[in-house]
Amino acid sequence: MIQLYNVYKAYQSSHPVLIDISMVIREGAFVFITGPSGAGKSTLLKILFRWEKFDRGQVLVNRMNIGKIPEDRLYLLRRKIGVVFQDYKLLPNKTIFENVAFALEIMGADRKAIRYQTWEALKNVGLTHKKDAYPLQLSGGEQQRTAIARALVNRPKILLADEPTGNLDPDIASEILSLFEAANKAGTTIVLATHSQDLLRQSDHPIVTLNQGRILETQFTG
């Protein structure tokens, strides 16, 4: 599903952030990326949906050679990938329902499909009772659930999550993790970046540890 060969990335003129990273993530896998702050976890995720460019190497996502996609067709790649952002990126002037529906609206889906799929997505994260609330009226965990619902609403093949439990207390964090587990069971390939040891201990998925732009180790637990 995702293949990286010798991916090298440096932000403008600074020292490299990713150095010759290679990995293969199979369809239906659930992979953790961890490592200290500044190791390049977020950068790696951003490369996968081509929010950032990379300088050398090859990246295949869903059989697309993403280094070769022209700028005006990138949106087609991004539609195949759901992303959960660390800062949620919910629109404050839209309700929870509208925020989730937004991901379908921008693809020009028809109203009926939007209503049905949005409802389903909210149901999956247990938020239907809050559908008319605004993001700022929700707790952090609920906001994160909304963000997950939005990332999954168009049933992407791949879900990327950057520090999805960063600002949440441990109980809420494991609830959130179980949502990812459920999505994974349903067939979504998941790449989750975190430096929370708690979260890593709770699951039995492979863990890739980055350090200073290189893969330090890959653990296969469970």
Partner 1 sequence: MFRNALHYAIANIRSNRQVCLASIGSIAVALSFPGLFLFIFVNLNSFLSNWNREVQLMVYLKDDITQQQQVDIEALLQQSPNAEMVTFISREDAWTDFQTLFADKSGLLEELDFNPLPASFRVHFKEGPDRVDTIRGAADSTKGVPGIESIDYGEQWIASFETFLIFLKIFLVALGGILAMGVLLIISNTIKLSVYSRREEIELMLLIGANPRFIKTPFFLEGIFHGTVGAIISIGLLKLLHLYFQFNFEGTFGSMTQGIEFQFIGIFYIAMIIGASMLVGWLGSSLSVNQFLKSYQK
Ligand X SMILES: Nc1ncnc2c1ncn2[C@@H]1O[C@H](COP(=O)(O)OP(=O)(O)OP(=O)(O)O)[C@@H](O)[C@H]1O
31 pairs with which residues across the strands? 191
Q: Is 78 in the site for partner 1 (CB under 8 A)?
A: yes
Q: Is 42 in the site for Mg ion (CB under 5 A)?
A: yes
Q: Is 56 in the site for partner 1 (CB under 8 A)?
A: no
Least distance in Å: CB of 122 to ligand X? 28
Q: Is 103 in the site for partner 1 (CB under 8 A)?
A: yes
Asked if residue 164 lies in contact with residue 180, where contact means CB atoms within 8 angstroms, the answer is: yes
Q: Is 43 in the site for Mg ion (CB under 5 A)?
A: no
Least distance in Å: CB of 71 to partner 1? 6
Max distance between CA atoms of the chain, in angstroms, equals 50
Pick from Mg ion, partner 1, ligand X, none: which does 37 bind, CB < 5 to 8 A by kind? ligand X
| Residues whose CB is less than 8 angstroms from the CB of residue 90 and which lie 6 or more positions away in sequence, other chains included | 99, 135, 143, 146, 147, 150
Q: Tell me the three state secondary structure of residue 50.
A: coil
Q: Is 193 in the site for partner 1 (CB under 8 A)?
A: no
Q: Is 34 in the site for ligand X (CB under 6 A)?
A: no
**Is the Cβ of residue 80 or residue 195 nearer to partner 1 in the bound state?**
80
Pick from ligand X, partner 1, Mg ion, none: which does 105 bind, CB < 5 to 8 A by kind? partner 1
Sign of CA dihedral 131, 136, 139, 143: positive
Total binding residues toward ligand X, as defined by CB under 6 A: 12
Q: Which three-class secondary structure string do you get for 168-191?
A: CCHHHHHHHHHHHHHHHHCCCEEE
Interface positions, 64-93, toward Mg ion (CB under 5 A) = none
CA 7 to chain CA centroid, Å, is 19
Q: Tell me the three state secondary structure of residue 58.
A: strand
Q: Is 195 in the site for ligand X (CB under 6 A)?
A: yes
**Is the Cβ of residue 42 or residue 154 nearer to Mg ion in the bound state?**
42
**Residues at the site binding ligand X, with contacts judged by CB under 6 A:** 11, 14, 17, 35, 37-43, 195
